[in-house]
Amino acid sequence: MTWEKLLPLLWNSTVETLYMTFWSSLIAYAVGLPLGVLLVITRKDGIMPAPTFNTVLGVVINFLRSIPFIIMLAVLFPVTRAVIGTAIGTKSIVFPLIISAFPYIARMVESSLEEVDHGIIEAAQSMGSTNWQIIYKVLLPEAVPSLVNGAAISITTILGYTAMASAAGGGGLGSLAIVKGLNVRKFDVMYSASLLLVALVQIITVFGTRITRRLDHKRR
Amino acid sequence: MSEALTPQIEIRGLSKVYPIPGGEVHALTNINLTIEKGDIYGIIGMSGAGKSTLIRCLNRLDTPTDGQILIDGENILAMDKKQLRQTRRRMAMIFQQFNLLMQKSVARNVRYPLEIAGVPKKQANERVMELLRIVGLEDKANAFPAQLSGGQKQRVAIARALASDPEMLLCDEATSALDPMTTQSILALLQKINSELGITVVLITHEMAVIRQICNKVAILDGGLLVEQGTVDDVFMHTKSAAGRRLFGILPEQQEQLPPQPAIRIVFDGEAAEQPIISKLVKEIGLDVNILSADIRQLNQKAYGQMLIARPDDPFDVQQVMEYLRGLGMTVEEVNMP
C-alpha cells in the first residue's frame, strides 16, 4: 500500500483509538474514582467504617474485574444496544470499555489512597475536619502523584482493550491491524498500525511518569 | 492568679480495653486525672504503659471503653459529631511523626485548620505568616515538608496546631523523634506557647528529662494504671511508685538480678544544693563517702537533683549520716541500688 493511502487510514484509526480511550477512561474514572474512595473510607479502620458494605462492594468489583474484556463485550451486547442504541461500531465499544475499566480503576485508586499515611488522616481529624474535608483536602491531594501514575497505567490498559474493538465492528488501530492488515494479508498495514499502538502506550507511560515525578513533593 | 472553677480537662474512671485473639488487653484502668488551665501536664511511662492511648482518648482519636472525659465540664465522649469537631478545634494535637501534609507547602499546611474553619483567604494568609513567625519559620513558607529537618517539621506542626487558636495543646511524644538539641528548642517553644499564649499543654513522653524541664505537673502510668500524680517537685522529691523510681533513675529501667547495693538517696532542693554538703559531711562526721551517682539540674529556675551515696556498713554510721543531712534540710532515704 502506498503512503498516500496508508497515512489517512492510520490517522483516522489513531483518532478512533484516542476517541475510545479518552471517553471510556473519563467516564470509567467518574465511576471508579468515587468507588475507590468508598473502598478506602468504609474499611474497618477507615474514616467511615462500614465493613459489610465494604465487603459487598469488594466482591462485586472483583467479580466484574475477573471478566475478560472480550467476554464482557459479548455478554453486554444487549445492554450496549439498549444504552447506546447500537452494539456495533466505534461508539458502542465505549460502553463495555467503561464497564470493564471502572472496577480496575476503583482498585487502582484504592491502592493509591492506601499509600496516604494514616497519621496524616488522624492529624486532620484532630483538627476538627469533616469526613468530606478529609477526602477532598487530605486523602485525594496527598495521593495525587500516585493517582496520576495509576491513571497512566489504567489508560494504557484501556488503550489495549480498544484493540479488541474489531470483534464488535469498532474501529481504531487494533481493528486496522486485524481487519485491513492481517485478514487481507497486508502486513505493512498490520505492522504500522501495531507500531503506532505501541508508540501510543509508550508516550502515555513516559508522560505519566514525568508528571508523577513533577507533582510529587514527598521525594525531594 | 485566679483559678477557674471547672478544670480544663477532667478524666474520670477512664478505662480502655482492647480485644485481642483469645482475650483482651487492659490498656488503661480506672484513670482519674485533673488538668487545670495553664498547666504543662506531663504524662510519663515506659512504652506499653498506656500513655499514648490516654492522650488519644482526650480528643477521641481512640474511644475509651468506660469513663468520662470532661473538657471544661463537657463530656467529650457524649458529644455528637459536630460538637466533637468544635471541641477538637479547641484542643490541637502534635505528633511524634509530625503528620504534615507532604504534598502541600509549609504555608498551606499551617493554613489547613483555617481553611476547614472557613476563614477568608486573605485573613488566613496573614495569620499563617504570623504563626510562622511565632515558630521561627517565616522564611520556609513556600518549602515542602520533605525539604525540612525533623525539628523544622515539628515547628510547622506546632504552627498548624496553633492556627485554630486552641486552648489546649496535646503532644503525643512530640520530641521522641528528635535529637537532644532539637528537643531542647521544641520544649522551649512549648514553654513559650504556654506562658505567652496561656495554652494548656498536655504532653506524653518516656523521658523524665522532658518532664523535669518544662512540666509543672506529672502523672506516672505503669501497666495502664496511674500510679502517681502531682506537682513535678512533689513527685520528684517523694517518689513513691516503683515505676517512678525507675523513671527517675533510682531503680534501673530493667530490674536485673544482681544483688542490690544499699545506698542513701539525697534529694537536693533549690537552697541546700548551694552548700558544700558532701564535703561538710566528710569533715564533720569523719566518714568516707562513696558517691554512686549524682544528677543535679535546673528545674523551674531552681537547682534540683539527687545523689546516691553508698550506705555505710555500720547502722550507727547510717543513722548519723541521715540525721546530719536531715539537719541541713535535705530529704534523705535509704534505697537499694544494684
| B99-143 pLDDT tens trace | 999 999 999 999 999 999 999 999 999 999 999 999 999 999 999
- CA of A127 vs chain B CAs: smallest distance (Å): 5
Which residues of chain B neighbour A218 with C-beta distances below 8 Å?
Answer: 102-103, 144, 146
Tell me if chain B has a CB within 8 Å of the CB of A114: no
What is the CB neighbour count within 10 angstroms for residue B3? 8
Provide the pLDDT confidence category of residue B251 given band limits of 50, 70 and 90: low
Tell me if chain B has a CB within 8 Å of the CB of A218: yes
Nearest residue of A to residue B162, measured between CA atoms: A127
Q: Is residue B2 predicted with pLDDT exceeding 60?
A: no
Provide the pLDDT confidence category of residue B302 given band limits of 50, 70 and 90: low
Distance set, CA B30 to CA B19, B54, B78 (Å) = 17, 11, 18
Which residues of chain A neighbour B160 with C-beta distances below 8 Å?
Answer: 127
Which residues of chain B neighbour A133 with C-beta distances below 8 Å?
Answer: 116
The rounded average pLDDT for each run of 10 residues, N- to C-terminus, in chain A (220 residues) is: 86 93 96 97 95 97 94 91 86 92 97 96 96 97 96 95 86 90 89 94 95 88
Radius of gyration of the CA atoms of chain A, in A: 20
Hey, are the CB atoms on B146 and A122 less than 8 Å from each other? Answer: no
Greater confidence, B290 or B66?
Answer: B66
Q: Is residue B253 predicted with pLDDT exceeding 60?
A: no
Q: Specify the pLDDT at position B156.
A: 97
Hey, are the CB atoms on B103 and A218 less than 8 Å from each other? Answer: yes
Q: Is residue B321 predicted with pLDDT exceeding 60?
A: yes
Hey, are the CB atoms on A122 and B99 less than 8 Å from each other? Answer: yes
Tell me if chain B has a CB within 8 Å of the CB of A36: no
Which residue of B57, B116, B158 is the best one to mutate when testing the A interface, meaning the one whose CB has the most A CBs within 10 A? B116
Q: Is B192 helix (H, G, I), strand (E, B) or coil?
A: helix
DSSP-assigned letters across all residues of B243-284: HHHHHTTSS-SS--SSPPEEEEEEEE-TTGGGS-HHHHHHHH
Hey, are the CB atoms on B61 and A128 less than 8 Å from each other? Answer: no
Provide the pLDDT confidence category of residue B42 given band limits of 50, 70 and 90: very high
CATH superfamily of B261-337: ACT domain (3.30.70.260)
Distance set, CA A142 to CA A116, B81, B155 (Å) = 6, 24, 20
Calculate the average pLDDT of chain B: 88
Q: Is B307 helix (H, G, I), strand (E, B) or coil?
A: strand
Greater confidence, A142 or B278?
Answer: A142
Q: Is residue B336 predicted with pLDDT exceeding 80?
A: no
Which residues of chain A neighbour B108 with C-beta distances below 8 Å?
Answer: none
Q: Is residue B38 predicted with pLDDT exceeding 50?
A: yes
The 10s digit of each residue's pLDDT in A103-136 is 999 999 999 999 999 999 999 999 999 999 999 9
Q: Specify the pLDDT at position B250.
A: 67
Hey, are the CB atoms on A141 and B99 less than 8 Å from each other? Answer: no
- CA of A60 vs chain B CAs: smallest distance (Å): 30
- Distant-in-sequence contacts of B115-124, Cβ < 8 A, 24+ apart: B115/A137, B116/A127, B116/A128, B116/A129, B116/A130, B116/A133, B116/A137, B117/A128, B117/B89, B117/B164
**DSSP character for A219?**
-
- Cell numbers linked to B189: 517553644
**Phi, then psi, of B210 in degrees rounded to 5:** -65, -45
Nearest residue of B to residue A215, measured between CA atoms: B103
Q: Specify the pLDDT at position B32.
A: 95
Calculate the average pLDDT of chain A: 93
Single-letter amino acid code for the residue at B68: Q
Distance set, CA B215 to CA A158, B44, B124, B175, B206 (Å) = 60, 11, 32, 14, 13
What is the CB neighbour count within 10 angstroms for residue B274? 9
User: Any idea which architecture A3-215 has in CATH?
Assistant: Orthogonal Bundle (1.10)
Global pTM reads 0.83
A-B CB pairs within 8 A amount to 80
- Which of A184-193, B52-61, B181-190, B325-334 is least confident? B325-334
Residues of B with CB under 8 A from a CB of A: 59, 61, 84-89, 92-93, 95, 97, 99-104, 112-113, 115-117, 144-147, 157, 160-161, 164, 170
Q: Specify the pLDDT at position B1.
A: 45
Q: Where are the domains of chain B?
A: 9-243, 261-337
Closest CA to B182 of B213, B159, B150, B207: B150
Between B150-162 and B121-134, two packed helices, what is the crossing angle to 10 degrees? 130
- CA of A196 vs chain B CAs: smallest distance (Å): 36
B9-243 in CATH: which number?
Answer: 3.40.50.300
Residues in chain A: 220
CB-CB contact of B203 with B210 (8 Å): yes
Mean pLDDT computed over B3-30: 87
Which residue of A127, A132, A148 is the best one to mutate when testing the B interface, meaning the one whose CB has the most B CBs within 10 A? A127
Mean pLDDT computed over B1-20: 82
CB-CB contact of B254 with B46 (8 Å): no
A217: nearest CB among B88, B93, B102: B102
Closest CA to B42 of B236, B182, B185, B223: B236
Hey, are the CB atoms on B112 and A220 less than 8 Å from each other? Answer: no
Which residues of chain B neighbour A216 with C-beta distances below 8 Å?
Answer: 103
User: How far apart are alpha carbons A102 and B152 in whole angstroms?
Assistant: 42
Which residues of chain A neighbour B149 with C-beta distances below 8 Å?
Answer: none
Q: Specify the pLDDT at position A91.
A: 87
Nearest residue of B to residue A140, measured between CA atoms: B103
Hey, are the CB atoms on A145 and B103 less than 8 Å from each other? Answer: yes
